Amino acid sequence: MKITTADGKVAEGLEQGRFEPIAVIGLGAIMPDAKDVNQFWQNIKAGKVSIKDVKSERWPGKIEDFWKNGGPGDIEEGFTYSKIGAFVEDFEFNWRRWRQPPGTLKQIDPCQLWAVEVSAAALEQSGYDGESKDFDRSRCGVIFANALGGENRNLSNIRVWSNHTKNVALKHGLPHENAEGFQAEIVEHSPRIDEDTVIIKRTDTADNGKIVVALIDEHEAMLKRIQKIRRA
């Protein structure tokens, strides 16, 4: 099977060798209705359901600007058909422990604050508390994964907010006959959003270990992890 890029170049170096085993020595978690791993496990054993309706204050505007009744494959573009979810609530970041001025916390993404607390919990569960037992920081790497970040997220948010933006403009004097054209120009260069949307960045190169989208016979796409093998 030959795998090519979108412009017809043959993808090389896709042979995969065996991956090194990874030892998981500590766990940490912050989950809906669970402040740590133990509480999350108890919720699982008890069959606790943490899915609930989205609170009205979580919507950045009127719910009608973001939600419409529908389902998969049956929803107007730019809207969501879901208004339920599971949410981390009542989380308190230990700013004293991490010496972070409390006045700065509102400017920090909650995911970053969670990552700090969860990482510390995982290290402590593994026995590395930084006092009685520590590790060589020069040999430690940190991998933190998040989805839909950077410029692609900014562009996607333009489309997500476009209905609300249009309605605010109508409220403040935009003529109704100009509303659709106004919204179309706002989202002209933003990614298309539906329930199957994945943001992909086109590039001519890929580093070892990266996941790429490969085209097969110019019409079928598949995900492939780049694993370059050094030959003697």
Strand extents, DSSP E, the chain:
52-53, 84-85, 211-216, 220-225
CB 191 within 8 A of CB 156: yes
Residue 221: CB partners within 8 Å, gap ≥ 6?
213, 214, 215
Tokens of 205: 């190169």
User: Mean pLDDT throughout 62-75?
Assistant: 88
Residue 196: CB partners within 8 Å, gap ≥ 6?
none
- pLDDT, one tens digit per residue, over 107-137 is 787 888 999 999 999 999 999 887 888 888 8
Query: What's the number of CA atoms in the CB half-sphere (13 Å) around residue 42?
Result: 7
- Any idea of the CA torsion for 157, 173, 69, 158, to the nearest 10 degrees? -10
Burial class (CB in 10 A: 0-12, 13-18, 19+), 32: middle
Task: Look at the pTM and tell me if it is higher than 0.85.
Answer: no
Quote the mean pLDDT of the chain: 81
Predicted pLDDT of residue 224: 60
- pLDDT, one tens digit per residue, over 163-178 is 999 999 999 999 999 9
- pLDDT, one tens digit per residue, over 69-81 is 988 888 888 888 9
- pLDDT, one tens digit per residue, over 180-218 is 999 999 888 777 766 555 556 666 777 766 667 766 655
